[in-house]
Structure 1
Amino acid sequence: MTLASATAPLRIGPYRVDPPVVLAPMAGITNVAFRKLCREYGSRDSIYVCEMITARAVVERNEKTLRMMAFDEGEHPRSMQLYGVDPATMAEAVRIIVGEGWADHIDTNWGCPVAKVTRKGGGAALPYKRRLFGEIISAAVKAAEPAGVPVTAKFRVGIDEDHITHLDAGRIAEDMGAAAVALHGRTAAQRYSGTADWDQIARLKETVRSIPVLGNGDIFSSEDALRMMAHTGCDGVVVGRGCLGRPWLFRELHAALRGEPVPEPPRLGEICRIVYRHACLLAEEMGEQRALRDLRKHMSWYFMGFPVGSELRRRLGVVSTLDELDGLLGELDPTVPFPADAEGPRGRQGSPGKVVLPEGWLDDPEDVSVPEGAELDHSGG
């Protein structure tokens, strides 16, 4: 592969993000253990965002949410994504977070396409209500400002092809004081299907001029990141599904975006060591039994394309102790090279579908009414 020129570092508020890479928040995935694993392979100066936290749960000091807001001792900046639909609740949640010193960067979630969220006007549905969206961003920025904590916004192209919102959302976030914006190049109706429209990221970059614009969607390799930045002119990339079962992707991104040779992908032996390391980190966080249950969902991603065998895959899928995991991994041939058919999409894909919205939601984009019942009291997506 021809080496690219080194990519300029990104600045989000006071933080220098070098290389300009962000780990996207993913429910049930980006806990302390996974973020630490990605950081061990990538740059400590990139940003690794925790699972989505709901503003209402912070205000009510929900016990589960407070546990999810944990960060590793060496994690900096500590990056937290907040979900909210009410300016007052969002402001109070931010005041609590910065007042308690719980985070150094707050991202806001406007991209969730899940029906339980959009049917109440939250997530990817909310930027359609332009004034309400602006009031929420403004409230969060003002609440974070005294502590010098930057607030960013991540959103999608729109609800569907007939209701495109990303350009308005970018302008509004910029005007309301957001430190950066990130765009997933799909509509909510697409969910994770099809192909991300990188042209829309380019349009957003042309529209938003005073703050960084990050691109998200279909980055499954370091070459994808280079192509996205060249195609769109975006200032950095947000990586989600591409690192599932592949935390070493951050090593490759680190090299590619600094104009260095990209390392060869790991052989099966290194992947087995990564899996065991992941299990140990989870055990430190949540205890051995819960850790091994949590790890099971990662197994198919880690061994995607490898000749593992159906019986061993089944046993890995029900592993319950670290010793058992160590024994099963020892049955694999460490010399097997990374398979070509393990490249490309991984994680959720699914099919497009109609976005479920509150009755009359599309009637008035200037309506500032807070969606009734949309304040989630639990975190994690």
Structure 2
Amino acid sequence: MTALDLPAATGTTTLRIGPYEVDPPVVLAPMAGITNVAFRRLCREYGAGLYVCEMITSRALVERHPKTLEMITFDDDERPRSMQLYGVDPVTMGQAVRMIVDEDLADHVDMNFGCPVPKVTRKGGGSALPYKRQLFREIVRAAVTAAEPAGVPVTVKFRIGIDDEHITYLDAGRIAEEEGAKAVALHGRTASQRYSGTADWSAIRTLKEHVTSIPVLGNGDIFSADDALRMVAETGCDGVVVGRGCLGRPWLFRDLQAAFSGEPVPDGPHLGEVARVLRRHAELLADHMGEEKGLRDLRKHMSQYLRGFPVGSDLRQGFGLVSSLAELDDLLAQLDPDVPFPADAEGPRGRQGSAGKVVLPEGWLDDPDDATVPTGAEIDSSGG
């Protein structure tokens, strides 16, 4: 493949988020159970950018839940250290960000208002919350107020809205900008779409036209380097946020670095190279979690790594049950290293599911200016 002509495709300058230069303008989206320190390191070995850890719940952080504290792990050379926070209460959010600042837990805070999961929206959290404009404003203000004295930038991620009848992204972008956020990111889907259908990149373009003093990042349906450049060209966004597109293919960040530098994008790896990457992922997980737990965690990545390759069902089953590095080595040795990267491995990856009605608290849509904190929405565990 060849890179698109970058200047014509983007017309942008280097992305800055507060004091940090992000070059190339690429952000790894937080993904529950995926973007732990091992996966982030694997991706960082392929290219620069901003790599965000799994979502951390503000209340769980303030209450120092052991699982949450374990998740706040960064490599020594991982800079800036980027943490995503979920919260629905301005007071708790402010406390969490002050804790991050006082204890030097991270260099950048990203706030999650994009989660469409029913267990979150039914309590008024995630992508349901920006509908409550005043509450949204107070949460963003609390985070920025706590972070600003230390120079820690706060960014905000959200969706187009709850559904086609309840669009919130322009208000959310305006409020985040007014309250001092250093960037905003828009996933071009509503909560009702979840991950189905096609992301609406035109909304990213519209947001960019309305939010002019801080960077606007685009998210949704970036599965290749060309997708990223096309999004920038079509929307004028200042950078891209990559989620499902890197599942089982951390070399996507190598491709993105090449594309944004105006260099040719490498061909997809042969099966032998994929096997090497899979082995490296296993090593990093074993170092992070211990071998047995790390290899169990790796199982969920197997189908993505092997997608499209001619690997027999028995061998695939073996990969799905692997429990040690020795077992993994035996399985990898049975792969043909010369098999080229298959064309049908391109395109959408990860969960897609189907659209559905968003479950909301009773009366949630009655008053968008009601700043009452939703009852029971502060989940006490992290990771989504």
TM-score normalised by L of structure 1 = 0.99
Question: What is residue 344 of structure 1 aligned with on the other side?
Answer: 347
User: Which of 132, 140, 144 is the matching residue for 1:141?
Assistant: 144
Aligned pair partner of 1:19 in 24, 28, 31: 24
Establish whether residue 40 from structure 1 lines up as the match of residue 45 from structure 2: yes
Contact 1:8 1:20 in 2 (8 A): no
* Whole-angstrom CA distance in 1 between matches of 2:273 and 2:76: 26
**1:103 aligned residue:** 106
| Contact map agreement 1:12 1:180 (CA 8 A) in 2 | yes
1:8 and 1:70 mapped to 2: Cα distance?
Answer: 31
CA deviations 1:203-244 (Å, max 9, x no partner) are 000010000000000000000001000000000000000000
What corresponds to 1:165 in structure 2?
168
The aligned residue for residue 195 of structure 1 is 198
- Taking the aligned partners of 2:95 and 2:4, their CA distance within structure 1 comes to 47
1:246 paired residue among 245, 249, 258: 249
TM-fit CA distance, 1:101: 0.3
Counterpart of 2:73? Answer: 70
DSSP-derived class of the 2:45 partner = helix
Letter paired with 1:4: D
Residue of 278, 281, 303 corresponding to 1:300: 303
Q: List structure 1 segments (4+ residues) > 4 angstroms apart after TM superposition.
A: none
Q: Does 1:177 align with 2:171?
A: no
- Identity among equivalent positions (%) equals 74
Task: Structure 2: give runs of 5+ residues left out of the alignment.
Answer: none
Task: Please report how far the alpha carbon of residue 261 of structure 1 lies from its aligned counterpart in structure 2 after TM superposition.
Answer: 1.1
Whether the 8 Å contact between 1:8 and 1:19 is mirrored in structure 2 is: no
1:205 maps to a residue whose letter is K
Aligned to 1:181, the other structure's residue is in SS state strand
Residue 277 of structure 1, CA deviation: 0.3
**Shift of the alpha carbon at 1:2?**
5.1
Residue 330 of structure 1: aligned partner: 333
Deviation at 1:258, TM superposition (A): 1.1
* Partner SS for 1:196: coil
What is the CA deviation profile of residues 154-204 of structure 1, one whole-angstrom value per residue up to 9, with x for unaligned ones? 000000000000000000000000000000000000000000000000000
Separation in 2 of the partners of 1:262 and 1:25?
Answer: 25
Deviations 1:85-136 (A, max 9, x none): 0000000000001110010000000000001100000000000000000000
Which residue matches 1:31?
Answer: 36
Aligned to 2:157: 154
- Give distance in 2, aligned partners of 1:245 and 1:2: 22
Alpha-carbon deviations, 1:299-332, whole Å to 9, x = none? 0000000001100000000001001101100100
SS at match of 2:265: coil
Could you tell me how far 1:5 is from its partner in structure 2? 2.3
* Unaligned segments of structure 1, at least 5 residues: none
Instruction: Show the counterpart of 1:286.
Output: 289
Classify 1:2/1:99 alpha carbon distance in 2 versus 1 (closer, same or farther; 3 Å): closer
SS at match of 1:379: coil
2:12 is equivalent to residue 5 of structure 1:
no
Corresponding position of 2:279: 276
RMSD: 0.7
State the alpha-carbon separation in 2 of the partners of residues 363 and 5 from structure 1: 46
Distance across 1 between alignment mates of 2:134 and 2:229:
35
Distance 1:190 1:3, change over 3 A: closer
What's the CA shift for 1:42? 1.1
The two structures have a TM-score, normalised by structure 2, of 0.98
Structure-1 separation of matches of 2:269 and 2:81: 29
| Counterpart among 216, 227, 239 of residue 224 in structure 1 | 227
